[in-house]
């Protein structure tokens, strides 16, 4: 057993878990395979937030078994935690290791299979490692990168689990209660990334705004930001999604007043209907949400402001959706993540009456996506002629050079402090913070040139 391969499905937290699993195998002397067909062990790190996510994982497992029938297939992640027996019954699966035990995954895979926790199952119980107990030792710190071939913006998961019980969400059942990485560990990880040459770090979590509340000496997200800025020389810290009730005045002002924190706020909204928010068991009302977004915009006039919005929740009437559409139109969002509701087994929403037909939910999804595209374009246009900060990512895709045969790279892709894609005229090395003047919008992204950085 000399080579392993990890395939990740789902969110940044899952990607971070996958990076930690890779580290486990490497510490045990295994090499990473380039593809699943070359590996002796294939780890499928699953998501279960939608039925489509489950289906994607099953399809991948079947393909691996068909193309590499002699490998061990180890399934972990949220789907493995939620439905271990279902996964264990799939052809080729040798172990199912839930989130509760993934911190021991490499050890489990490489030893005689004695179950840590046995479940009553039709499948061989000795292959299932799942418990409803989640320990702090399970929260492993391992940076993961933002996208394929983009090695400039490591993402560090500092929190896992959730104490909320939104009626549509399966995540608390498959990731457990909120657990925080201790501040000292976070500082050490950030210092290591800075020493390795990284100039932006994204901190993330399942419910990031709750970071620190469970520690022996409770702390808050602003404490984490203050300490990171004080104890490290990191040039830019970016905060990922934070629930509306955790956007305190202190957090808003801290991000607004520090040049070393990206001007970026992602604030899940889900619905603009008070009735639907109550049915979702969300802990805020539309007017609370509106107040938070308006405070953020006043404090940071050019910040990226994004939201998650769900359509098709059970019982969502035309009037409820219109309230959401109107609220999205009125608030200063620069982008949206629009999701169509997917019933998850075991959640209260799955048992609700008035499930919305898929056709109607998809139509509503398209309406919000089109509105979001309009708002993003308006935000981009407002920056023409302005100077922005940006970090270089990679050379632009090769183009045909009309003056001679062959191809050449033209310019550099970058990401602005306020989370917009930017194409620069100059050919530049990745991982540089610089200033750029925005000249135009083409092909859905900003175009500009490098200018001297303001003092």
What's the number of CA atoms in the CB half-sphere (13 Å) around residue 219?
21
Query: 220 and 368 in one domain?
Result: yes
Query: 176 and 71 in one domain?
Result: no
Query: 273 and 251 in one domain?
Result: yes
Query: 157 and 284 in one domain?
Result: yes
Structural domain span for residue 355: 136-382
Q: Which long-range contacts (CB under 8 A, 24 or more apart) does 285-291 make?
A: 286/323, 286/327, 288/244, 288/245, 289/244, 289/327, 290/327, 290/331
User: Any idea what the CATH number is for the domain that residue 418 is in?
Assistant: 2.40.50.140
Tokens standing for residue 78: 């949220």
Sign of CA dihedral 247, 239, 435, 372: negative
**Domain end position, chosen among 129, 163, 186:** 129
User: Any idea what the CATH number is for the domain that residue 342 is in?
Assistant: 3.80.30.20
Return d(Cα 170, Cα 41) in angstroms, integer.
28
**Domain end position, chosen among 67, 96, 129:** 129
Give me the number of domains the chain comprises: 3
Return d(Cα 219, Cα 222) in angstroms, integer.
8
| Helix ranges, 83-214 (H) | 84-88, 105-109, 171-175, 183-195
Three-state secondary-structure class, residue 48: coil
Res 301: pLDDT: 97
Tokens standing for residue 353: 């009456």
Three-state secondary-structure class, residue 154: strand
Query: 165 and 65 in one domain?
Result: no
Query: 0.85 cut: is pTM over it?
Result: yes
Query: 146 and 79 in one domain?
Result: no
Angle at 369 between CA 365 and CA 371, to 5 degrees: 120
Return d(Cα 159, Cα 2) in angstroms, integer.
32
Return d(Cα 450, Cα 438) in angstroms, integer.
9
Return d(Cα 306, Cα 293) in angstroms, integer.
10
Going by the DSSP 8-state scheme, the letter that residue 138 receives in this structure is G
Residue 82's nearest CA partner among 351, 346, 350 is 346
Tokens standing for residue 47: 């998501």
Residue 150's nearest CA partner among 198, 204, 208 is 198
**Domain end position, chosen among 129, 151, 185:** 129
Tokens standing for residue 324: 């959401």
Three-state secondary-structure class, residue 36: helix
Query: 180 and 60 in one domain?
Result: no
Say which residues have a Cβ less than 8 Å from residue 189's Cβ, sequence separation at least 6.
141, 143, 156
Query: 425 and 317 in one domain?
Result: no
Q: Give percent helix, percent strand, percent coil of the chain, each to the nearest 5.
A: 35, 25, 40
Return d(Cα 207, Cα 246) in angstroms, integer.
10
Per-residue pLDDT of the chain (455 residues; tens, 9 = 90+): 589 999 999 888 888 888 889 888 988 889 999 999 999 999 999 999 999 999 999 999 999 999 999 999 999 999 999 999 999 999 999 999 998 888 888 888 875 333 334 333 444 545 888 877 665 545 555 565 544 445 678 889 999 999 999 999 999 999 989 999 999 999 999 999 999 999 999 999 999 999 999 999 999 999 999 999 999 999 999 999 999 999 999 999 999 999 999 999 999 999 999 999 999 999 999 999 999 999 999 999 999 999 999 999 999 999 999 999 999 999 999 999 999 999 999 999 999 999 999 999 999 999 999 999 999 999 999 999 999 999 999 877 644 343 444 444 579 999 999 999 999 998 999 999 999 999 999 989 999 999 998 76
Query: 433 and 299 in one domain?
Result: no
Going by the DSSP 8-state scheme, the letter that residue 303 receives in this structure is -
Say which residues have a Cβ less than 8 Å from residue 302's Cβ, sequence separation at least 6.
263, 382, 383, 386, 388, 418
Query: 117 and 17 in one domain?
Result: yes
Query: 123 and 13 in one domain?
Result: yes
C-beta separation of 216 from 183 below 8 A:
no
- On the 0-12 / 13-18 / 19+ scale of CB atoms within 10 A, 216 is exposed
Residue 195's nearest CA partner among 227, 154, 159 is 154
User: Any idea what the CATH number is for the domain that residue 85 is in?
Assistant: 3.40.50.12160
Query: 172 and 101 in one domain?
Result: no
């Amino acid at each position: 057993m000399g080579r392993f391969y990890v395939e990740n499905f789902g969110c940044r937290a899952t990607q971070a878990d996958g990076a930690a699993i890779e580290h486990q195998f490497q510490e045990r002397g295994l090499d990473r395979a380039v593809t699943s067909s070359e590996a002796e062990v294939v780890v499928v790190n699953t998501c279960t937030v939608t039925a489509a996510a489950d289906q994607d994982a099953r399809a991948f497992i079947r393909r691996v078994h068909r193309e590499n029938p002699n490998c061990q297939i180890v399934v972990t992640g949220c789907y493995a935690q939620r439905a271990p027996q279902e996964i264990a019954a799939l052809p080729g699966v040798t172990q199912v290791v839930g989130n509760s035990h993934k911190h021991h995954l490499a050890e489990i895979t490489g030893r005689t299979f004695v179950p840590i926790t046995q479940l009553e199952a039709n499948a061989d119980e000795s292959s299932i490692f799942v418990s409803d107990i989640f320990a702090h030792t399970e929260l492993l710190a391992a940076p993961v990168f933002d996208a394929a071939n983009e090695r400039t913006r490591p993402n560090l998961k500092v929190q896992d689990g959730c104490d909320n019980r939104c009626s549509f969400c399966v995540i608390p059942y498959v990731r457990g209660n909120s657990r925080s990485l201790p501040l000292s560990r976070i500082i050490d990880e950030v210092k290591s990334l800075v020493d390795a040459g990284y100039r932006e770090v994204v901190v993330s979590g399942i419910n990031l705004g709750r970071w620190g509340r469970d520690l022996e000496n409770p702390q808050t997200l602003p404490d984490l930001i203050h300490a990171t800025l004080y104890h490290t020389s990191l040039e830019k810290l970016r905060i990922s999604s934070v629930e509306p009730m955790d956007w305190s005045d202190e957090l808003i002002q801290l991000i607004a007043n520090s040049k070393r924190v990206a001007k970026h706020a992602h604030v899940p909204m889900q619905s603009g209907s008070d009735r639907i928010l109550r049915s979702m068991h969300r802990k805020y009302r539309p007017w609370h949400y509106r107040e938070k977004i308006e405070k953020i915009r006043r404090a940071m006039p050019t910040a990226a402001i994004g939201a998650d919005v769900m359509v098709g929740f059970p019982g969502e009437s035309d009037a409820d959706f219109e309230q959401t559409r109107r609220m999205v139109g009125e608030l200063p969002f620069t982008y949206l993540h629009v999701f169509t509701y997917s019933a998850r087994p075991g959640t209260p929403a799955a048992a609700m009456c008035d499930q919305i037909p898929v056709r109607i939910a998809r139509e509503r999804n398209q309406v919000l996506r089109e509105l979001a595209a309009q708002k993003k374009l308006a935000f981009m246009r407002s920056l023409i002629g302005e100077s922005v900060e940006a970090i270089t990512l990679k050379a632009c895709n090769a183009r045909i050079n009309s003056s001679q045969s062959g191809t050449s790279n033209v310019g550099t892709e970058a990401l602005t402090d306020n989370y917009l894609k930017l194409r620069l005229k100059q050919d530049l090395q990745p991982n540089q913070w610089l200033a750029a003047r925005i000249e135009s919008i083409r092909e859905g992204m900003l175009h500009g040139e490098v200018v001297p950085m303001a003092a």
